[in-house]
């Protein structure tokens, strides 16, 4: 079971990395296509957040701490993506920058959770 849970967290990390990439790509675009991409980003952030929440119950405490922080960052991604949809000009750019920063932070937290999970597993195999 722990092997599948490790894979689940790693799949969630890959999804968070894809989310970050999608935001980066959207930020580089101009025009109406950006708003469509940002709307999709908000939905993708919600899906990744829900996946993280679903795995929380089977994690050790250190891993949970990082995953909970990642969920908070993903909720901020959703909030700032929604703000970007209603903004224009400099306010839009600021919302996009904040969305990207939140996504980057969530990827970092999920990566830290993966490391904590691996560390805990390594500690169990040595004893």
pLDDT in tens, 19-76: 999 988 888 876 667 788 888 888 999 999 999 999 888 888 889 999 999 999 999 9
| In the predicted structure, residue 123 carries a pLDDT above the cut 90 | no
Q: Residue 3 — pLDDT band, cuts 50, 70, 90?
A: very low
Nearest residue to 74 (alpha-carbon basis) of 52, 96, 95 = 52
Q: Quote the CA–CA distance of 13 and 72 in Å, as a whole number.
A: 15
For 108, residues 6+ apart whose C-beta sits below 8 A from its C-beta are: none
Q: Quote the CA–CA distance of 76 and 87 in Å, as a whole number.
A: 16
CATH of domain 2-126: 1.20.120
Q: What is the dihedral of CA 34, 38, 44, 50, to 10 degrees?
A: 180
């Amino acid at each position: 079971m722990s092997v599948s849970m490790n894979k689940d967290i790693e799949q969630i990390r890959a999804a968070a990395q894809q989310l970050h990439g999608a935001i980066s790509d959207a930020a580089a675009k101009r025009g109406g296509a950006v708003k469509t991409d940002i709307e999709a980003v908000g939905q993708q952030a919600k899906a990744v957040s829900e996946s993280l929440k679903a795995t929380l119950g089977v994690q050790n405490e250190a891993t949970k701490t990082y995953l909970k922080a990642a969920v908070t960052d993903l909720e901020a991604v959703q909030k700032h993506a929604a703000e970007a949809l209603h903004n224009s000009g400099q306010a839009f750019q600021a919302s996009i920058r904040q969305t990207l920063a939140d996504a980057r932070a969530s990827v970092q937290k999920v990566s830290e959770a993966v490391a904590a999970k691996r560390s805990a597993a390594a500690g169990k195999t040595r004893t």
